[in-house]
Amino acid sequence: MNEGTTMPEKDYIEIDVLTKYETELAVLFNAGDDEDFWIPKSVIEDDYPDIGESGTIMVEEWFAIKEGLC
């Protein structure tokens, strides 16, 4: 990367979830419907609720759109 070049800022989407399961690379969530979904940890900003707990996560917008999460 050239000196002085900066990476573009990422846009995030907030999603209210219940954390169901976690692996080394991804987390299984439910957003209040009958269908669970996996999200790679690499597209989650900061932290997420512990297993069995509810809360809000920040997911990179491109991924949320691609997976129909928003």
What does the pLDDT look like over 1-50, one tens digit per residue?
556 666 667 899 999 999 999 999 999 999 988 899 999 999 999 899 99
Distance of CA 59 to the CA centre of its chain: 4
Q: Is 1 part of any domain?
A: no
Q: Is 16 part of any domain?
A: yes
Which two tokens mark 27? 């987390």
User: What is the residue range of 43's domain?
Assistant: 12-66
Q: Is 2 part of any domain?
A: no
pTM for the whole thing? 0.84
Average pLDDT (57-70) is 94
Q: Is 54 part of any domain?
A: yes
Q: Give the chain's domain count.
A: 1
Residue 52 has pLDDT above 60, yes or no: yes
Q: Is 57 part of any domain?
A: yes
